[in-house]
Amino acid sequence: MKNKQNLTSVFSLFSTGVTIITNGTSKKEYFGCTVNSFTSLSLDPPQFLFCLGNENENLKSFKIKSPVNVNILSKSQENLSNKFAGDLLNRWDGVSFSIAKNKVPFF
């Protein structure tokens, strides 16, 4: 436990942006996960990458064939960040969002 706390302190020294990756094009398929492993890769072709932990429960609900939206969070969206890093069953409860042209939710 002490090692885990130490690791958290070390990791927190590295500042990153925080995103919520969303995908799924129908209500029963919606996926959302707080992710700071997002980074830009190239402009031409336009590419980015992010990592989802192999052991994460929510990886099972990521829809490989669905488009993806990257929601770049501001400081005022810390609650949203915590919600989408928390209990998988309650992530979308009480959250307001819109649907993008690609049919995937965005904040």
Ligand X SMILES: Cc1cc2nc3c(=O)[nH]c(=O)nc-3n(C[C@H](O)[C@H](O)[C@H](O)COP(=O)(O)O)c2cc1C
The residue of the chain with the least Cβ separation from ligand X equals 37
Give the Cα separation of 10 and 98 in Å (integer): 36
Q: Which of 2-10, 27-35, 68-76, 98-106 is the region at the interface with ligand X (rule: CB under 6 A)?
A: 27-35
Q: Does 51 bind ligand X (CB under 6 A)?
A: yes
Query: Quick one: tokens of 52?
Result: 């989802």
Q: Which of 2-10, 55-63, 66-74, 98-106 is the region at the interface with ligand X (rule: CB under 6 A)?
A: 55-63
Q: Does 52 bind ligand X (CB under 6 A)?
A: yes
Q: Based on C-alpha coordinates, what's the Rg of the chain?
A: 15
Residue 32: other Cβ atoms inside 10 A: 28
Q: Does 34 bind ligand X (CB under 6 A)?
A: yes
